[in-house]
Structure 1
Amino acid sequence: MNTLRRAPEEASSIGNRVSFARWAPIPARLIVGYGFMAHGFAKLNKGPDAFAGILHAIGVPGPHMMAWLTILVEIFGGLAVILGAFVWLASLPMAAVLFVAIITVHLPYGFSSIKIMSVTNGRAQFGPPGYECDLLYIACLAALVLGGSGPFSIDGYIKDRKNSRQK
């Protein structure tokens, strides 16, 4: 049988997967964007000086400036990803924040982000997180940059407008 010809039910199954595939970036945008914004607002809530103190303790140069830059990247980068706005541009500083976190904080603790140390009073006690989640965030950002932001995104709207003007 010719491999290019498919049974009708198989062809419709492939068509359904293709039509659903365009929606795949939306959950990635929502969780990555929300995750970054949550971390940024947590730092802002505790006070940028507290985060600057942590950065100073681990030897980051210009800790106050870097604290504010990190907070701004997390909040505005996260919002850009949720909206699907200039994701390719927002991803660069976001990935940089993640790489710095891997090198300065998570690397000594290994790969796994979940390390159950003990159970006390029926509750799990966890050790310090590894770099696993940071790599997952980087992978999602890379997928969004390479595959596009998907529907309901500002990037998609801009692309559609540009394409309609060229016709």
Structure 2
Amino acid sequence: MKLPSLLYPDLNRTGSLGVLVVRLVTGLLLAAHGFSKLAAGPAGLAGGLAMKGFPAPTLLAWCATLAELLGGICLMLGLLTRPAGAVVAFNMVVAWASMHMADAAHFGTAKGGSFEYPFLLSSLGLALALTGGGRYSLDAVLFGRKTDSGGGGG
């Protein structure tokens, strides 16, 4: 007996829709935070990085800001999805490992939230780096790559 198609969907048809939703939401969140950092300038983030002992904190603040802003835009468009996902994942791993690790002990509580958000974004970035943009992406239009699962490509 087969499960209903709602519970056991054909990934050839629905996989890229799932990737599209993940791309749009993740990209929107990242681009919004990147734009916020850009509008405020690098001083705030650079100050936090300097307090943690990072070298060249202003340069790193600009890199993080642009990774979020441009990475988010690329993910929303499905343009260069794999490299954008990898950059986002790396940026967010650095964020939670360097700035939010103290709150990891409070995982699942209100105080753990400052760790959980960049941890989630790093995981989503990694997932998109692995799957690609899917059928509904500029990657698929420009480069014509799709996978059998419907979830990859680009």
TM-score (ref. length: structure 1): 0.73
The share of aligned pairs that are identical, in percent, is 30
Q: Say which structure is richer in strand.
A: 1
1:112 to 107, 112, 137: 107
RMSD value, Cα? 2.6
1:65 and 1:113, CA in 2 relative to 1: closer, same or farther beyond 3 A? Answer: farther
1:113 and 1:93, CA in 2 relative to 1: closer, same or farther beyond 3 A? Answer: farther
Q: Are the equivalent residues in 2 in contact too, given 1:80–1:87 (CA < 8 A)?
A: yes
Q: Are the equivalent residues in 1 in contact too, given 2:133–2:140 (CA < 8 A)?
A: yes
Q: Are the equivalent residues in 1 in contact too, given 2:89–2:124 (CA < 8 A)?
A: no
TM-score (ref. length: structure 2): 0.79
SS at match of 2:5: helix
SS at match of 1:43: helix
Q: Larger relative contact order (C-alpha < 8 A, sep ≥ 6)?
A: 2
CA distance in structure 2 between the partners assigned to 1:77 and 1:17 by the alignment: 30
2:62 maps to what in 1? Answer: 68
By how many angstroms is 1:128 displaced?
6.1
Larger Rg computed on CA atoms: 1
Partner deviation per Cα, 1:75-113 (whole Å, 9 max, x = no partner): 111111111111111122222211111111111112536
Q: Are the equivalent residues in 1 in contact too, given 2:42–2:62 (CA < 8 A)?
A: yes
Moved over 4 A (4+): none
**Unmatched 5+ stretches in structure 2:** 147-154
